[in-house]
Amino acid sequence: MSSSRPSGGRNFTDAELARYLNYDGVTSDSDGETEGSETEDYLEVKDSEQTDEDDEPMEVISTSSPRIESPVTLEESTSSQNTDISRDTCIIYLPQTVLRGKDRHVWSTKKPQSLRTLSSNIVRISRGPTSQCRRENDPLQCFKMFITDEIIDEVVQWTNPEIIVKQQKLFSH
C-alpha cells in the first residue's frame, strides 16, 4: 500500500476500498512493498466542517511512521505474533473525536462520557419487606404475613364460582 495522498474529491472504487480494508501490513502488495517493512501505515482523516452545500467525501491522508521493534525471544515472538498482527491491522487510531460520513451521519471515535443519572433513578430508601417482615428470613413466612388467611378465603370464594361460569359457557357452545 503506498503512502500517497488521495485528493479530497476522489471516490474510491470497490477494489480500492477492499484493498485498503483487507490490507494486513505483512503481505506484499503490487506497489512493491516487501515483507517485514520498517514502516507502518496509519490513516488520518482531514478534520473539516462539512456544510449542506459540501457533498465531497472526507479526505483520507495516509502517512507512514517507522516501526519500533523491541528485541524478543523466539518463544515470545511465536506466541504473540498472531495476536499482534491481528490487533495491529484491525484497529485504526484516529486523532479526531468526530467523523462525518457522506450522508452527514456523525460518528464518534471515543466512548461517550458517563451521563448524569436522573434523580428519579436514584434509590434513597432500601427496598424490600418492611416492619415485621424485615426480621423474617423465610420467604414462606413473609408470604404468610403479607397474604393473610382472610385474603386467601376471599380469593377462593370468588374464584370457584367464576370457574363454574367459564365451564358452563365452554360446554354450552
Does the CA dihedral 77-80-86-88 come out positive or negative? negative
Per-residue model confidence as pLDDT tens digits over 90-140: 777 777 888 888 898 888 888 777 777 788 888 887 777 677 777 778 888
Evaluate if residue 144 carries a pLDDT over 80.
Answer: yes
Nine cell digits for residue 149: 388467611
The residue ranges of DSSP E strands in the chain, in sequence order, are 39-45, 60-66, 98-100, 106-108
The pLDDT assigned to 44 comes to 56
Q: Domain segments of the chain: what residues?
A: 14-108, 131-172
SS3 4: coil
Rounded CA-CA distance 41/3 in Å is 7
Q: What is the pLDDT of residue 140?
A: 86
- Of 44 and 132, more confident: 132
Q: Return the pLDDT at 122.
A: 82
